[in-house]
A and B are shown apart, each in its own frame.
Chain A
């Protein structure tokens, strides 16, 4: 019984992007030699979320405090934006700073991994009796075309198995939940079973369609249509399997991304975005550096920095960056205080995220922390403000409500407004 399900009002209140040619047969324009890539136009908005799991240190990335007792051993380096400095662990990303905006005044006031992650994925604090949908699910519901063969919310991560997390979608309904792209491998069950040829699969589906046409001739409902559509989508998805194969990319570019997992996953993310995926999340682990924070950040940033810079440049070169909202987030930052294990602990009171692309002012910096990085002194924001900002950047109205059986639920926290100064 669908008693907690939405009534579909989002579809009525949000102007959908113009129908695009993702499915238009025969119009598969070659894109850098990749015949699978769907023809994209600049009005097709999409989202790339880079999630640095465990809690990345703001002090070793976007908000360095060199020389302060809390600052750690690393220097700050200038960037392609005059006056903006970042940690020396980000030399390649520093040269992309003119494409990025920094939000340095985040206070999410939640130092628990699960709850912090929830805030950053949903823009809300966790409540015992209401679950809010992930940004990826909202985009899948509000931005993606309903007949897009790629799932609306893809999550590329090192492990996690091959299933999906339908619960991410909360009241939007399970089909807007995330589909796990475990270690970059395509969704489970994408290959035909052993012994079944493509020709036989075509033939059994044509029998199925014939049976459906007969049965539904007099009794077609929204539910039967949704059901038969999933079978057709599955076949389209199977036909797109090569999108997941990053070995098709030029060797030099793959080298630029890096041969490690995160490099491959980011390259895959670009292929998926280019191929029409509306929302791709890439997770890089693990930043939970209670011990040896500095060694760990040298190593982790060593992977992140060049890969992320290459990804931004690649998206830009392909004309995708301006229409892709990019965010680099974490569940929280790390304590300014350095503990006796040379580690930093969980710290949500003053930390940073980076944004780029669709709707974002390139090179902008907002928010300021004090000299030791222990508190926000200017333009403090929380997860709700970030969410409202994402909505605005995507051209969605953050004040719109979702209706669950006539009960209005604001899609973003009504108490938090967008961060106007970083929005175009």
Chain B
């Protein structure tokens, strides 16, 4: 599907990987591809980011929140040469890692659609448990598209289909966009007018997995589940075809084999035939074929799509952009790099953690966001890091972490401060921020700051509680410092994961002198939480 730049040979990659440091061979292979794409790489690439910046990046990317001041201090004073890799492994082993990435996958795949027919939180739990168990993402997707919602123990995974009301056009559009990286929506009524690779028969091949499936209101479960009929074919005409030739399409992935229905007599069609209050269950389920096809014919497109999306999540932009426009005419910014990652995804059994680890330990991820020269598109060329906004979850949990909410809550709960109790408190406290910052339901996450978000951040009662002193939180820690310089350090380490410079120390000192100290602390914390430096990953 992807045209390799001048037929870049994968054997070259293999040669390269065999030469590099055995510790992070994938990171090194990725960096090799980036360097090969830039003849003057050594003169143009920005330097490595400092330790505080690195810790802030990996913390928001791997566990969804900025580091606390004590975490920053510990990292800054650590002297092991491989401390970055050590900290990455520590964060990947943190239970918050699966907890945060379940929310990332939820935002990718559900796009903030409400839990109309299912329990949305049970779905996130299912994603979290799958990630914690190191389930391959291919297996996860296969489970999701095969689910029918009948078995209570496995109902959560049916959210993808049930909360789209099993609307076939929507389901096909989203499976093509989200799992295959190819938005076939424009190929519904005709071959895509501008993209050679997106054919009308591709759309209808996906449609044929679903055209017999329907939303069934189960009277016993009192829940919506999926039923399926044993008949019904997908036919289509191109609106551009003057002869209006009608074509028939059986299930199949784009460029995969077409699945023919077995020859069954009328008596053989059903396990249970659809009727009023009876869910249809055919002997031959077309929809059940999809899970198997995705992990065979769909394996490589899925791997490429996931590699591109994971990269975009951590780097701020996909190698192929937009994310759902993977096709032969939309060249990756670095085709060799994308193929290396796709291959790693395939070879590594679609596991998330090794991919994340390889990316964050690459030089590309660790580069500074300070430009070295005036190179055009330096971020796209991976010569410097992209300044990227935190996503809604990262903002919410980072406000909590930065303001010391987590420590204060742990102290307040005392003996009752179990991980589950704390997590519930955190989720409830972060939710108003996430809700305010999230895009409307049914839309992918994108950065689109709005007036009402600024009004919320400035004036809503919810933010005020994080600014007032409470045993263990940032305001209390700052107020406990007699020396304004120490208070300034605590503030900057907590909110921005760095030490203040001289002029910033001066500002804090001036603020301490001019106002009631608790008022000064409140306003200083707010000003930094509202700053662009906090809102973005630098």
- Write the residues of chain A forming the contact surface with B, with a CB cutoff of 8 angstroms: 1-5, 128-131, 151, 163-167, 173-175, 177, 179, 187-194, 200-201, 203-205, 207-208, 210-212, 214-216, 218-219, 221, 223-224, 226-231, 233-234, 237-238, 405-407
Contact = CB atoms under 8 A, between A and B. Distances in A.
A227 B535 contact: yes
10 contacts: A2-B446, A3-B325, A175-B451, A189-B460, A204-B530, A207-B507, A211-B531, A212-B532, A224-B387, A234-B454
Contact of B322 (A3, A174, A221): A3
A189 B447 contact: no
Given A164-B452, A173-B448, A203 B389 contact: no
Given A191-B459, A228-B532, A175 B450 contact: yes
Contacts of B387: 219, 221, 223-224
A219 B527 contact: no
A129 to B, nearest CB: 5
Contacts of B177: 3
B485 interface: no
B455 A227 contact: no
Contacts of B524: 204, 207
Contacts of A229: 449
B449 A3 contact: no
A204 B526 contact: yes
A188 to B, nearest CB: 7
| Best-buried of B167, B452, B507, B536 by chain A (most CB within 10 Å) | B452
Contact of A219 (B369, B457, B460, B515): B369
B377 to A, nearest CB: 13
Contact of B536 (A173, A224, A405): A224
A207 to B, nearest CB: 4
Interface string B499-538: 0000110010001000100010001101110111101101
Interface string B6-43: 00000000000000000000000000000000000000
Contacts of A5: 446, 448
A163 B530 contact: no
A1 B312 contact: yes
B185 A129 contact: yes
A3 B444 contact: yes
B371 interface: yes
A81 to B, nearest CB: 42
A264 to B, nearest CB: 23
Given A1-B445, A203-B523, A215-B531, A130 B458 contact: no
B532 A151 contact: no
A167 B323 contact: no
Given A3-B323, A151-B451, 12 more contacts: A1-B309, A151-B452, A164-B450, A174-B439, A174-B450, A175-B449, A188-B452, A189-B459, A204-B527, A212-B532, A216-B532, A230-B451
Interface string B478-512: 00000000000000000000000001100100010
| Best-buried of B318, B443, B456, B464 by chain A (most CB within 10 Å) | B443
A205 B369 CA distance: 26
B523 A200 contact: yes
B322 A230 contact: no
A209 B415 CA distance: 42
Nearest to B308: A1
Contacts of B460: 188-189, 193
A211 B533 contact: yes
A211 B529 CA distance: 10
Given A166-B439, A230-B449, A218 B530 contact: no
Contacts of B454: 230-231, 233-234
Contacts of B371: 218-219
| Best-buried of B173, B515, B526 by chain A (most CB within 10 Å) | B526
A208 B507 CA distance: 12
A234 to B, nearest CB: 4
Nearest to A199: B515
A406 B194 contact: yes
Contacts of A221: 387
Contacts of A190: 455, 459
Given A204-B526, A406-B194, A224 B532 contact: yes
Contacts of A223: 387, 389, 447, 536
Contacts of A173: 446, 448
A219 B535 CA distance: 14
A4 B452 contact: no
Interface string B182-196: 010110100000100
Contact of B453 (A2, A230, A238): A230
Given A1-B323, A208-B531, A227-B535, A179 B452 contact: yes
Contacts of B443: 4, 167, 174
B153 interface: no
A177 B451 contact: no
Q: Enumerate the 5 nearest inter-chain pairs by beta-carbon distance, A residue then B residue, closest first.
A: A2-B446, A167-B440, A207-B527, A234-B454, A204-B523
A190 B369 CA distance: 35
Contacts of B519: 200
Nearest to B501: A214
A218 B455 CA distance: 27
B461 interface: yes
B442 interface: yes
B413 interface: no
B442 A167 contact: yes
Contacts of B167: 128
A224 B369 CA distance: 14
Contacts of B369: 219
Interface in B253-308: none
A175 B454 CA distance: 12
A207 B523 contact: yes
B169 interface: yes
A230 to B, nearest CB: 4
A236 B502 CA distance: 32
Interface in B295-354: 309, 312, 318, 322-325
A29 B306 CA distance: 57
A205 B458 CA distance: 10
B441 interface: yes
A223 B535 CA distance: 11
Contacts of A227: 389, 449, 532, 535-536
B370 interface: yes
Contacts of B389: 223, 227
Contacts of A174: 439-440, 443, 448, 450
B170 interface: yes
Nearest to B443: A4
Contacts of A233: 451, 454
Contacts of B452: 151, 163-164, 179, 187-189
A205 B531 CA distance: 9
A208 B527 contact: yes
A188 B440 CA distance: 18
Nearest to A236: B451
Contacts of B451: 151, 175, 179, 187, 230, 233-234, 237
Nearest to B456: A189
A187 B458 CA distance: 13
A158 B274 CA distance: 46
| Best-buried of A1, A163, A193, A229 by chain B (most CB within 10 Å) | A1
Contacts of B442: 131, 167
Nearest to A226: B449
A188 B458 CA distance: 11
A128 B169 contact: yes
Contacts of A237: 451, 455
B444 A4 contact: yes
A245 to B, nearest CB: 18
B113 to A, nearest CB: 11
Contact of A405 (B188, B325, B457): B325
Contacts of A188: 452, 455-456, 460
A193 B439 contact: no
A129 B530 contact: no
A178 B213 CA distance: 36
B458 A231 contact: yes
